[in-house]
């Protein structure tokens, strides 16, 4: 990637995950990617008709596919790119006849500002700290209610109060922690009631997102997934299939705010699942079969039937998740809890 010295032309004035004037600035990765792609479309380095694929862009930006997917959805809403008959997005306005142009994006010498390049290539301190704290909070959610001690968190991670507060703010934004009336940061508990309520939200949002995504679903990706599973001797667990459902179908709905609502609602459930898996709880083989049935309906373009099936599947999954949650009542929590998390007692 070339670094364009004219940073102002890229439209970004703050660097993600780095200190700026004594405070930590956080710019979403997908916004950075969208800004970079938008500028290169405007300059013509990304020409009209070019087929934009998530994988090559992710490799170029040295990031995962998720922020690339979100960035492309932003550009789609701005009518800079659009879906077409093939895989990926086509650069150009929807409704204008454009011949697909397939080029290796690595050969196009895109202009990426030094600021964006640095933000994408070097994960900020708060981002690295965030991963550790999210995993620790996820592990404690299933054991009850815990208070996060900010000073101990900073000491444990060896970071400043600025970084600690930014990490806690992001955890709060994603619904993993909350502030009580005493202004203490509280994690948990993930109760049967809260799990059931979050799945009720999923039953409302996700089937509708699936319907909205009808024309944007990666049907070829589903076919490849099914073929790959058919040739593999290793079973695919339901968590992997759920991730595939989100990436190939639901997160392709042309409504970024709806997708963010779904992601934030899922976060505590997903975090708890990872924590339960680390405790050695067995996989749900029946759930995996249900996902394959769902993919069959989607592949057959029976989207209304798939949406109805998904809603019923989520009702069942709610009760299964609650049952898994109850198992940990007999598991010792001592080895799972880090020093900065202390059992919370209402005074």
pLDDT, residue 141, reads 78
Grade residue 12 by pLDDT with cuts at 50, 70 and 90: very low
Give the range among 153-157, 195-199, 282-286, 299-303 with minimum mean pLDDT. Answer: 282-286
Alpha helices, H only, 145-249? 150-157, 161-173, 192-212, 219-231, 238-248
Could you tell me where in the chain the CATH 1.20.120 domains are found? 192-327
Higher pLDDT: 88 or 25? It is 88
**Order of strands across the sheet that contains 146-148:** 177-179, 185-187, 146-148, 341-343
Q: Which residue has the tokens 């989100």?
A: 246
Could you tell me where in the chain the CATH 1.10.10.10 domains are found? 2-121, 125-189+331-343
pLDDT, residue 308, reads 97
Most distant CA atoms of the chain, gap in Å: 68
Higher pLDDT: 277 or 178? It is 178
Tell me the per-residue pLDDT of 202-246, one tens digit each, with 9 for 90 and over. Answer: 999 999 999 999 999 989 889 888 887 776 666 667 778 888 899
- Long-range contacts of range 81-84, CB-CB < 8 Å, 24 or more positions apart? 81/41, 81/52, 83/215, 83/216
Please give the CATH architecture assigned to the domain spanning 2-121. Orthogonal Bundle (1.10)
Rounded to whole angstroms, the Cα distance separating 7 from 114 reads 7
- H or E, element range at 257: helix 256-278
**pTM higher than 0.95:** no
Q: What is the CA radius of gyration of the chain?
A: 22
Higher pLDDT: 201 or 137? It is 201
Residue 119 contacts residue 18 (beta carbons within 8 Å): yes
- Does domain 125-189+331-343 sit in CATH 1.20.1640.10? no
Q: What is the mean pLDDT of residues 123-127?
A: 60
3 state DSSP class of 42: helix
What is 192-327's CATH number? 1.20.120
In the chain, what are the helix, strand and coil shares in percent, each to the nearest 5? 60, 10, 30
Rounded to whole angstroms, the Cα distance separating 89 from 41 reads 13
| Beta-bridge partners for 19 | 24
Tell me the per-residue pLDDT of 153-206, one tens digit each, with 9 for 90 and over. Answer: 999 888 888 888 888 988 888 778 889 888 899 988 888 898 899 999 999 999
Q: What is the mean pLDDT of residues 240-261?
A: 90
Q: Which is nearest to 313 in space by CA: 343, 288, 340?
A: 288
pLDDT over 90 at 282, yes or no: no
């Amino acid at each position: 990637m070339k670094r364009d010295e004219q940073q102002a032309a890229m439209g970004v004035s703050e660097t993600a995950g780095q200190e700026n004037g004594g405070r930590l600035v956080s710019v979403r990765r997908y916004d950075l990617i969208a800004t970079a792609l938008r500028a290169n479309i405007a300059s013509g380095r990304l020409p009209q008709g070019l087929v934009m694929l998530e994988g090559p862009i992710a490799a170029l930006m040295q990031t995962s596919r998720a922020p690339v997917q979100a960035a492309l959805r932003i550009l789609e809403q701005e009518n800079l790119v659009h879906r077409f008959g093939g895989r990926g997005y086509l650069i150009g306005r929807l409704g204008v006849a454009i011949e697909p142009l397939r080029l290796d994006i690595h050969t196009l010498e895109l202009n990426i500002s030094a600021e964006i390049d640095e933000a994408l290539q070097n994960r900020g301190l708060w981002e690295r700290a965030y991963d550790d704290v999210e995993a620790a909070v996820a592990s404690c959610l299933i054991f009850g209610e815990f208070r996060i001690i900010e000073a101990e968190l900073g000491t444990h991670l060896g970071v400043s109060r600025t970084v600690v507060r930014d990490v806690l703010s992001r955890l709060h934004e994603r619904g993993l922690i909350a502030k009580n009336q005493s202004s203490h940061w509280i994690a948990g508990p993930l109760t049967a009631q809260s799990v059931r309520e979050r799945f009720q939200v999923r039953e409302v949002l996700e089937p509708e997102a699936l319907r909205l995504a009808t024309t944007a679903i990666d049907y070829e990706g589903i076919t490849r997934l099914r073929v790959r599973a058919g040739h593999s001797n290793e079973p695919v667990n339901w968590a992997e299939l759920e991730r595939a459902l989100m990436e190939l179908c639901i997160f392709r709905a042309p409504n970024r705010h709806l997708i963010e609502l779904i992601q934030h609602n899922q976060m505590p459930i997903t975090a708890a699942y990872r924590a339960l898996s680390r405790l050695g709880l067995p996989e749900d083989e029946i759930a995996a079969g249900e996902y394959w049935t769902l993919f069959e309906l989607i592949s057959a373009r029976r989207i209304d039937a798939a949406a109805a099936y998904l809603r019923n599947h989520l009702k069942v999954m709610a009760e299964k998740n609650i049952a898994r949650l109850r198992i940990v009542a007999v598991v010792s929590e001592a080895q799972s809890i880090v020093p900065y998390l202390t059992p919370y007692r209402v005074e």
